[in-house]
Structure 1
Amino acid sequence: MTQQNNSNVDLVIFDWDGTVMDSIGRIVSSMQAAAGLTGLVVPSSYAVKQIIGLSLDPAFAVLFPDTNTTQRAQLFEHYRDHYTIYDTTPTPLFAGVEQVLKALAEQNILLAVATGKARKGLDRMFAETGLADYFVTSRCADEAQSKPHPDMLLQISQQLDIKPANAIMVGDTSHDMKMAQSIAMPRVGVTHGVHGAEVLSQFQPKAIIDDLPSLLSHI
């Protein structure tokens, strides 16, 4: 049943890793495995978590600044293979995800994804979770500049002809908050992913929530 949308929110854009899907553990273990297989110093779990949300090239530049082109190509291959084939760390959806998407869609609010994943990776997650039909569009790491640049959000807003002020970005990292803040797009930080309230609050979010169902009270 479709409900009337009484807010000025026409669009909600979700980050994926750490916001919709609890994939942080697999990202960390896959990045550490890739480093070891490439013969590099294995980064700490904390260090890897800080680059979640970035595209892989800038993530590698942060974690492995002294690597050359060949090493980065090896890192990419090892990371991709470990994440998609060898790593069995569970990547469940966070509690209440589909409930929230359904409730927003019933209010005629458009939904989108802005993610550091590559298109193949996001499409694979859409297929595995069955959530693709909720989202009218998405932007991935190989289609836009990396977070925290607002390119993904600008592309989505322009495609849907919705002003940034009438959208909300929902994410779990400083990268999500910073890219939305830079174009004056309202934002909601969620603490069940990488960054906690202390970090997220630095970007003046509309709200900080501990779980996605709480988002509905801020729309």
Structure 2
Amino acid sequence: MQNVVADQLVADKLVADKFVADKVSLVIFDWDGTVMDSVGRIVSSMRAAALKSELLVPSEFAVKQIIGLSLDPAFDILFPQSNQMQRQQLLAHYRDHYTLYDTTPTPLFAGVELVLQQLKDSNVKLAVATGKQRRGLTRMFAETGLEKYFDTSRCADEAQSKPHPDMLQQILRELDLPAEQAVMVGDTSHDMKMAQAIAMPRVGVTHGVHGRDVLSQFAPKAIIDTMPELLQVI
């Protein structure tokens, strides 16, 4: 009886793997709030940087809304009256606080590496499209050991800011795939908007910045609460 059950589990996994491989050729992940639980540190670091730069400190809610954007449009929203010198100081203080002083934990969300491994085993290509700059993502790859799973990535200093679809378009060109064979996975409206702009299927994740009420406005293929659920919906 145990052998029958074991055989059935293997068969079920093969069917699931084939389903994923047949339906999707590429999965593109946002990083902050999707792969890594880093929202808390981003918020506290930005607010600390504003205080040190003698700028009006934005609310936690306001900072959360810019997560995923490149720094210039984020600063436009949070500090519209700031000048270039103040922005340079703010950026330096933010980087120092995030990398050196802030001790807010930034773990991977539960099940992330298992999901990445299963997708790779199913011959699905993987990519990252993030509001981080390249050196930030490189640091995160080194800390987490996840770089080995990804075929390519695009960062905020290599493309137009989300929600413009430039990041996704660059990735598609590099991997020679059409948008309909890819899925964008993200936790913010910025992720959903950029995928929607090029008719790329998308999956919203609620464990980051935005909840179902916001994510559902962009007609995602699915909305999930945990990363392992991704394997059930793509």
TM-score by length of 2: 0.92
Task: Report the equivalent of 1:114.
Answer: 129
Give the secondary-structure state (helix, strand or coil) at the position aligned to 1:142. Answer: helix
CA deviation vs aligned residue, 1:73-92 (integer Å, no higher than 9, x gap) = 11110001110111111000
Task: Report the equivalent of 1:191.
Answer: 206
Task: Report the equivalent of 1:51.
Answer: 66
Q: For the residues of structure 1 that align with 2:37 and 2:211, how far apart are their CA atoms?
A: 15
Give the secondary-structure state (helix, strand or coil) at the position aligned to 1:189. Answer: strand
Task: Report the equivalent of 2:161.
Answer: 146
Q: CA deviation at 1:115?
A: 0.1
Query: Could you tell me which amino acid in structure 2 is paired with residue 104 of structure 1?
Result: L
Q: 1:156 aligns with which of 171, 177, 181?
A: 171
Q: For the residues of structure 2 that align with 1:164 and 1:82, how far apart are their CA atoms?
A: 37
CA deviation vs aligned residue, 1:140-171 (integer Å, no higher than 9, x gap) = 00100000000000000000001001000000
Q: For the residues of structure 2 that align with 1:79 and 1:161, how far apart are their CA atoms?
A: 37
Q: For the residues of structure 2 that align with 1:183 and 1:75, how far apart are their CA atoms?
A: 34
Asked if the contact 2:168–2:195 (Cα under 8 Å) also holds between the matched residues in 1, the reply is: yes
Q: 1:18 aligns with which of 8, 33, 36?
A: 33
Give the secondary-structure state (helix, strand or coil) at the position aligned to 2:204. Answer: strand
Task: Report the equivalent of 2:145.
Answer: 130
Query: Could you tell me which amino acid in structure 1 is paired with residue 188 of structure 2?
Result: T
Asked if the contact 2:49–2:90 (Cα under 8 Å) also holds between the matched residues in 1, the reply is: yes
Pairwise CA RMSD of aligned residues? 1.2
TM-score by length of 1: 0.98
Query: Could you tell me which amino acid in structure 2 is paired with residue 158 of structure 1?
Result: R
The 5 Å alignment of 1:29-68 reads: 29-68=44-83
Unaligned runs of 5+ in 1: none
The 5 Å alignment of 1:164-203 reads: 164-203=179-218
Q: For the residues of structure 1 that align with 2:36 and 2:77, how far apart are their CA atoms?
A: 24
Task: Report the equivalent of 1:75.
Answer: 90
Asked if the contact 2:21–2:123 (Cα under 8 Å) also holds between the matched residues in 1, the reply is: no
Q: CA deviation at 1:6?
A: 4.5
- How many residues were matched structurally? 219
Give the share of equivalent positions with the same residue, in percent.
72
Larger Rg: 2
Distance 1:6 1:135, change over 3 A: closer
Distance 1:114 1:6, change over 3 A: closer
Q: CA deviation at 1:218?
A: 1.0
Q: For the residues of structure 2 that align with 1:8 and 1:120, how far apart are their CA atoms?
A: 33
Task: Report the equivalent of 2:225.
Answer: 210
User: Given the alignment of the two structures, is residue 93 of structure 1 paired with residue 108 of structure 2, yes or no?
Assistant: yes
Query: Could you tell me which amino acid in structure 2 is paired with residue 12 of structure 1?
Result: V
Q: Which has the higher helix share?
A: 2
Asked if the contact 2:183–2:200 (Cα under 8 Å) also holds between the matched residues in 1, the reply is: yes
CA deviation vs aligned residue, 1:78-128 (integer Å, no higher than 9, x gap) = 001110111111000000000100111111000000000000000100000
Q: For the residues of structure 2 that align with 1:41 and 1:119, how far apart are their CA atoms?
A: 28
Give the secondary-structure state (helix, strand or coil) at the position aligned to 1:7. Answer: helix
